[in-house]
């Protein structure tokens, strides 16, 4: 039951982080601001892909399911509830993707909450959001975790591509729709179906999904390097420009 244990452990980590916010409304608000900033940053970085072209659906999937500021609490509960069933009834690739998603979410929540704490410590009202975000980022540091976060995101993308090649999986997902909704697993079902259909569509295109994932890899790696290594003023200016803001 390694799959089930890892999923439940990851969900428990997230639950503990959420519980820590209950008595700290300022921290909870800072966390919402961090998530909103990061979601807007992703949308700005990939505006060219979001607006049109063959990768618009995949970019929206990444924005909605991996980089969004929405609350994933319900999906977490669904993952924990059927963790054992994922391992028992689904192919190993599906189980592996579920584990990666749960552990990615746990790492992301840890980093975001650390960012929220650092965000609160930047009390200079003259700072724009980009400057405040950069200072929080460098205060948190954890470069290895940032790089691992990106590696996991890309790994999930690679797994989604492989899942589209499993014979009969799309039919299985379609047959699960009614039972999943009846069991209160609609959020998880939506993620699986949307991810499958998005990547299946890309694999039929001339460039394929790997070109999309390569773009994600290049842009996000460049962003990580910039936030850690670039001169602060230049970094703040570029980050603000991505969001269409003044630095």
Residues of the chain where predicted confidence (pLDDT) is lower than 70: 1, 74-75, 82, 85-91, 176, 179-185, 187-188, 204-207, 245-247
The predicted pLDDT at position 179 comes to 66
The predicted pLDDT at position 192 comes to 76
- Contact criterion met (CB below 8 Å) for 236 and 134: yes
The predicted pLDDT at position 214 comes to 93
The predicted pLDDT at position 185 comes to 63
The predicted pLDDT at position 124 comes to 74
Please tell me the total count of domains within the chain: 1
- Contact criterion met (CB below 8 Å) for 98 and 195: no
- Contact criterion met (CB below 8 Å) for 3 and 94: no
**Tokens 């890892």 belong to residue:** 6
The predicted pLDDT at position 112 comes to 96
- Domain limits for position 198: 2-243
The predicted pLDDT at position 127 comes to 82
pTM of the model: 0.87
The predicted pLDDT at position 3 comes to 79
The predicted pLDDT at position 54 comes to 83
What span, in angstroms and rounded, lies between the C-alpha atoms of 100 and 163? Answer: 14
Q: Which long-range contacts (CB under 8 A, 24 or more apart) does 42-47 make?
A: 42/67, 44/242, 44/243, 44/244, 45/219, 45/223, 45/242, 46/219
What span, in angstroms and rounded, lies between the C-alpha atoms of 53 and 28? Answer: 37
The predicted pLDDT at position 96 comes to 81
The predicted pLDDT at position 123 comes to 75
Q: Determine the 3-state secondary structure of 129 from DSSP.
A: helix
């Amino acid at each position: 039951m390694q799959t089930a244990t890892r999923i439940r452990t990851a969900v428990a980590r997230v639950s503990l982080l959420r519980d820590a916010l209950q008595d700290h409304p300022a921290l909870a608000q800072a966390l919402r601001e961090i998530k909103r900033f990061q979601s807007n940053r992703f949308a700005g970085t990939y505006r060219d892909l979001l607006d049109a072209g063959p990768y618009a659906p995949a970019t929206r999937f990444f924005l909605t399911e991996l980089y969004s500021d929405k609350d994933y609490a319900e999906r977490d509960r669904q993952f924990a509830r059927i963790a054992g069933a994922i391992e028992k009834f689904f192919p190993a690739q599906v189980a592996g993707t579920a584990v990666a998603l749960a552990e990615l979410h746990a790492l992301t929540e840890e980093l975001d909450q650390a960012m929220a704490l650092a965000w609160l410590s930047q009390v200079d009202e003259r700072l724009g959001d980009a400057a405040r975000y950069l200072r929080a980022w460098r205060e948190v540091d954890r470069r290895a975790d940032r790089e691992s976060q990106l590696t996991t995101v890309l790994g999930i993308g690679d797994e989604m591509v492989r899942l589209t090649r499993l014979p009969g999986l799309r039919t299985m997902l379609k047959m699960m729709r009614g039972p999943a909704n009846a069991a209160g697993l609609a959020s998880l079902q939506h993620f699986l179906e949307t991810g499958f259909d998005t990547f299946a569509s890309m694999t039929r295109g001339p460039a394929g999904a790997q070109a999309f994932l390569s773009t994600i890899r290049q842009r996000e790696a460049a962003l990580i390097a910039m936030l850690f290594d670039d001169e602060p003023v230049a970094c703040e200016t570029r980050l603000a420009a991505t969001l269409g803001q003044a630095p």
